[in-house]
Structure 1
């Protein structure tokens, strides 16, 4: 499939969702419930969920009740948490149990994370014993760990079971297991000893046992592994699912690729917000209360405000130099703006490299040195252009000394910004802080303050002050 075809398919899906949502709203407005029900029959659950989410809140419950029970469970799992919570508050008690009890344990645990504690306690008490136990198991692990996102609905067997018996068992358990492409082999104490893929199962003789064909070198993760590391494991080995074991290496669940995709999207969103010094806390930014948005964004803005105060003080201390050569002030925004951009570029590539493990073989020193050289090359090119530009500006009065001062300062600031942009993410990671969240504001601080100091130091030296 070509890139254009992928884009076109994506556009078509958005058009379908918008069409379904608009048609559904029109039919519900006209109280045409049968027509609305017929409209949803050929639509995929994920598209129905998005269409329901686009409806006014008063219509969401009506649209949801048009679905049969099986489809309703699939659709509910795809709804955003705000809509899920809104529907739960409107459901009758039995409706809640019928849906929540049939959800996958990992999806149910994520839903419970978003619901008020009193609601969760009431629903848990009314779940079937098996589902309550499965959900309590997941809720017992820390958030954002493998244990919290795994599902206990997997297929396991003993090594002495034949392939024919395993296939028969798969047929009977296919509807209750989340994924049947892997059969995990365990001993009597549930310790993970091997894995057999569905492909291996159907391509070997039925009389062979799982122990004869299993792969004993199993890649697994532990319940306390961070979910971002889990995503890297699945991505590295191209798994559809990865087994999860406890401290005693007993199999307790699996993490499936659909959950990993959600994790990657969530972590990427958090990193992008963090690069802009915006705390997301995992919420949908555009659905968050504006006062909450302002509170989350104000911290780093205050840091930058304080930084600008320091920068202003440094500039104020150069009153004599600026009084005699006022044109110097015209180039301050250019220098600190260019330095900030170069530093942000360096920090962005380093933070991304840390996230994808691309830098693990290079080492800190080599990365910083490489970015410093890149900064020097950028500074050299930009500096030469700036010298010519500054010389030709009318306000510089063709003062070559001032133009050279600006060009040299830009070269020095470019190197400084590259070193700061590449070095600070490593420093913050060493201090157990989020490099993406911390680097941006601190790079601005370093470049603004040190850039102005460098500029006036060079100007004072070159111009004889």
Structure 2
């Protein structure tokens, strides 16, 4: 049996599906999609021309269409909604899980959302309104109210009967939650422990009373870290009175982790996403978002020119010093970028806390010193071979050591400082750190050159 790479399979399905649709062979396209997983069908539809996406989606049976729709990118979901008839929309949106529906509504214009909400069944309308009532990026916004809650006095037999009746309308049955008459969360029970219990045992005898839960206003990124730390498949969400209002499952948190990581990567590169898919935004919007940081860096870089002009007398007397400026600031920028990347990632994953600030900064300073010595020795030898001037070579080597310590310390300190004052540490990204090191590095280099070479001020 020949193994086929998943990406190759997706490309194959998409290309064959497009060929069949171009030939108007709808029955062949329908047969092609039968053995394909919903997530792969969604990706194949996303790769089709816009005029074919709605046609391909309509070929799916209703039982599969909902899951495929939930896996589609939000922009494709919006496009399909515009193409569907009113009843088609109601059937799809009404059967979506509440958390996926709330995520879709976040992406749609308010007028469209109002029309869709009006078409939902009363039960689904209430569930959606509950989620949309919580703040963006909170546990309440991404939870689902579709869970199974048991009572302490129930027997195992009764609980199993109840689970059978609710299994297909619940997000997961692997974790079972126990609540009292006021819906307060009192315990948790795994399906494994339930099915291995005696039929006449009560849920109170089997459940675990120490339950790890999150509040509805908890940040979704903190919830993701919690689930990652304890290897949960789901986590219960409670309100201020400890009443169980929903659960968050691992599949939704994987999406959160991916979205947060993507945002951090874009931010660290000086790119504003605005919450939209970067590669599906217009070129004008992309340029508008990227130019903000570039203007900031452009203005900041003019300080480097100012520093060089203020030290013109040094460069005029020893012109060869100018040749090493790109090497020094480039190396310093790279060292600073490495430090900031490590520290920003550590802050985002909670491996580093602001309480550890001094030890982290000190560690990065020592790392910068070691790197500087290693690089400085090589550059010193290279500079001597090029210029045959020991004083210039020594100046370049010592400057690189000093710049490396400066860059590593700055790269470690600024993200921690930003987090402490309430900003995203990713703002202290590689481009910004590099610019800071450029300005200070040039000033440090030319000041050391003035001192070591004995050049007086003009």
Q: TM-score, normalised by structure 1?
A: 0.96
Which residue does 1:247 correspond to in 2? 240
Q: Secondary structure at the match of 2:248?
A: strand
Residue of structure 2 in register with 1:129 after alignment: 122
Return the alpha-carbon distance in structure 2 between the equivalents of residues 392 and 277 of structure 1: 39
**1:206-225 to 2 correspondence within 5 Å?**
206-225=199-218
Listed as ranges, the gaps of 5+ residues in structure 1 are 1-7
Q: Per-residue deviation at 1:359?
A: 2.1
Equivalent residue, structure 2, for 1:96: 89
Match of 2:430 in 1: 440
| 1:181 is the counterpart of 2:174 | yes
8 A contact 1:109–1:135 mirrored in 2: yes
Q: How does 1:74-113 map to 2 (within 5 A)?
A: 74-113=67-106
Q: Distance in 1 between matches of 2:340 and 2:351?
A: 14
Say if 2:393 is the partner of 1:403: yes
Q: Runs (4+) of structure 1 moved beyond 6 Å? A: none
CA RMSD of aligned residues (A): 1.3
Could you tell me which of 196, 202, 220 is aligned with 1:227?
A: 220
Determine if the alignment matches structure 1 residue 416 to structure 2 residue 406: yes
Kindly indicate whether the alpha-carbon contact (under 8 Å) linking 1:242 and 1:255 is maintained by their aligned counterparts in 2.
yes
CA–CA distance in structure 2, aligned partners of residues 438 and 294 of structure 1 = 21
Which residues of 2 match residues 15-54 of structure 1 at below 5 A? 15-54=8-47
For 1:308 and 1:48, the matched residues in 2 are separated by 48
CA distance in 2: counterparts of 1:182 and 1:429, whole angstroms = 36
Aligned positions of 1:157-176 closer than 5 A? 157-176=150-169
Q: Secondary structure at the match of 1:43?
A: coil
Count the aligned residue pairs.
Answer: 454
Post-superposition shift, 1:362? Answer: 7.3
Distance in 1 (alpha carbons) for counterparts of 2:357 and 2:86: 57
Secondary structure at the aligned position of 2:313 is classed as helix
Asked if 1 retains the 8 angstrom alpha-carbon contact of 2:269 and 2:429, the reply is no
Q: How does 1:42-441 map to 2 (within 5 A)?
A: 42-360=35-353, 363-393=356-386, 396=387, 398-441=388-431
Given the two structures, how large is their TM-score scaled by the length of structure 2? 0.97
Q: Distance in 2 between matches of 1:361 and 1:442?
A: 21
> Shift of residue 156 of structure 1?
0.2
CA distance in 1, matches of 2:271, 2:405: 27
8 Å CA contact 2:142, 2:252 repeated in 1 = yes
Q: Distance in 2 between matches of 1:54 and 1:358?
A: 38
SS in 2 for 1:63: helix
Shift of 1:358: 1.5
Q: CA deviation at 1:282?
A: 2.9
Shift of 1:285: 1.3
Q: In 2, Cα distance between the equivalents of 1:303 and 1:404?
A: 35
CA contact (8 A) 1:346 1:422 kept: yes
Q: Secondary structure at the match of 1:183?
A: strand
The whole-number CA distance in structure 1 between the counterparts of 2:355 and 2:371 is: 22
Unaligned ranges ≥5, structure 2: none
Q: Provide the rounded CA distance (Å) in 1 between the counterparts of 2:48 and 2:248.
A: 32
Alignment partners' CA distance in 2, 1:347 and 1:175: 47
Task: Give the CA deviation at 1:360.
Answer: 3.7
